[in-house]
């Protein structure tokens, strides 16, 4: 069965996004989204879109569309902006947290765009963003350069096909890595919730206490887990630390 991905063109309709010298973010994101989608489709990916025309959707609506479609991945495209023209430049990718396949995909996209000529700002955690927090699948938000940077706009306009190709190849390369059989890892689970906000609170509390916690959505539950150990003994040690900190635990494999 092919992977399924929902692509989201940021903003739209009455929400133009960033604006610079008559240029509107919503137009650039739609163009890039459709170009990336065509390439992914040609390579066997089942691609769907939150929008293909100039319409407005709230971030909550975008997340709902993706969740109802039950896609494997969600990628949202935007362009950045700064308080002053030509103040900043570069590309970044935003994720809920730096874990799992979404983080690998984000890093691959950053590297691919860097090869085209963009400055690599890097991957940043933004757990408060609705399209990253409300989606039930691995989700990324790509900031494809600054809209009010003349240099980034020149790259965007002159190399749009290369940019779309680079992003698509980074996504495809990440998915290829996912199909390779992974080694067995032991993880320590501290909770499983139907309400994501409850799971988020536990992740925040664990990370504040220095535990390498992350969130996994699986079988209708938001699971809070810690670590990824190849040796069972190391997982047992982590479990004891968590129990000493007052958490109920169970060791799981992945």
Is the overall model pTM greater than 0.85, yes or no? no
Indicate the pLDDT class of residue 180, thresholds 50, 70 and 90.
low
Question: What is the model's pLDDT at position 232?
Answer: 87
Which one has a higher pLDDT value, 184 or 26? 26
Instruction: Check pLDDT > 80 for residue 184.
Output: no
pLDDT tens digits, one per residue of 95-144: 999 888 999 999 999 999 999 999 999 999 999 999 999 999 999 999 99
The pLDDT of residue 220 is 82
Percentage above 70 pLDDT, the chain: 97
Q: Does the pLDDT of residue 179 top 80, yes or no?
A: no
CB 96 within 8 A of CB 215: yes
Evaluate if residue 23 carries a pLDDT over 80: yes
């Amino acid at each position: 069965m092919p992977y399924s991905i929902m692509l989201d063109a940021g903003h739209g309709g009455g929400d133009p996004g960033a604006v610079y010298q008559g240029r509107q973010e919503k137009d650039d994101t739609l163009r890039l989204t459709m170009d990336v989608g065509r390439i992914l489709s040609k390579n066997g990916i089942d691609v769907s879109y939150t929008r293909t025309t100039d319409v407005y959707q709230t971030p909550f609506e975008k997340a709902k569309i993706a969740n109802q479609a039950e896609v494997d991945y969600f990628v949202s495209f935007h362009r950045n902006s700064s308080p002053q023209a030509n103040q900043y430049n570069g590309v970044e990718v935003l994720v809920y947290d730096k874990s799992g396949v979404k983080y690998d995909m984000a890093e691959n996209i950053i590297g691919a765009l860097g090869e085209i000529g963009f400055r690599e700002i890097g991957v940043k955690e933004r757990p408060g963003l609705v399209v990253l927090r409300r989606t039930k699948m691995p989700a990324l938000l790509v900031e494809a350069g600054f809209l009010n940077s003349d240099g980034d706009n020149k790259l965007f306009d002159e190399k749009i096909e290369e940019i779309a190709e680079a992003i698509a190849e980074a996504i495809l390369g990440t998915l290829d890595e996912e199909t390779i059989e992974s080694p067995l890892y032991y993880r320590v689970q501290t909770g499983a919730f139907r309400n994501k906000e409850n799971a988020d609170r536990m992740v925040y509390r664990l990370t504040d206490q220095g535990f390498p916690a992350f969130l996994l959505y699986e079988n209708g539950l938001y699971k809070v887990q810690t670590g990824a150990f190849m040796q069972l003994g190391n997982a047992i040690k982590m479990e004891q630390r968590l129990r000493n900190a007052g958490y109920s635990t169970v060791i799981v494999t992945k």
